Amino acid sequence: MAIPGLIRNFESDTPLPANRFVAADIGDFMATNATGIQSPILGVTEQGTDKKLRVDVVMTQLAPIELGGDFAGGEYAVSDSEGRAIPLDPAAHTEDTEIHVAGKVLEKGDAGTIVDIHIAPFVIIK
């Protein structure tokens, strides 16, 4: 369960799963699945899209996120290709000019588990 912060409702062109990062899409209040470090993170889905392809996105504070990699707790997170959280590894992105970071994962967990993340998106520009 998210601790209430800024939660906004967005429209999507495709179904979005729960507990995943979403990114800004073309159009007003449009969201799409985040697909990696180049995705401009909006926040985290709570329930996924409904039948009309609307989705609530937690944009600040704490939210549950599915892990796509192992975390020790306290690491910054970026999106993998499926919108799951993976640890930020700057050495793995030496060729990238922008890295969109979603926030900090607050607890340890293995890939596939759901943990809390403090959502505080920022961009590293090299």
Please indicate, yes or no, if residue 2 is contained in any of the structural domains.
Answer: no
Please indicate, yes or no, if residue 78 is contained in any of the structural domains.
Answer: yes
Are the C-beta atoms of residues 21 and 3 closer than 8 Å to each other? no
Q: In what order do the strands lie in the sheet with 54-58?
A: 7-11, 54-58, 41-45, 21-24, 31-33
Share of the chain above pLDDT 90, in %: 82
Tokens of 59: 């944009």
- Coil, strand or helix at 110: coil
- Coil, strand or helix at 102: strand
Split into its structural domains, the chain has a count of 2
pLDDT digits (tens, 9 = 90+) for 85-115: 999 998 888 888 999 999 999 999 999 999 9
Range of the domain at 18: 7-60
Please indicate, yes or no, if residue 109 is contained in any of the structural domains.
Answer: yes
Please indicate, yes or no, if residue 40 is contained in any of the structural domains.
Answer: yes
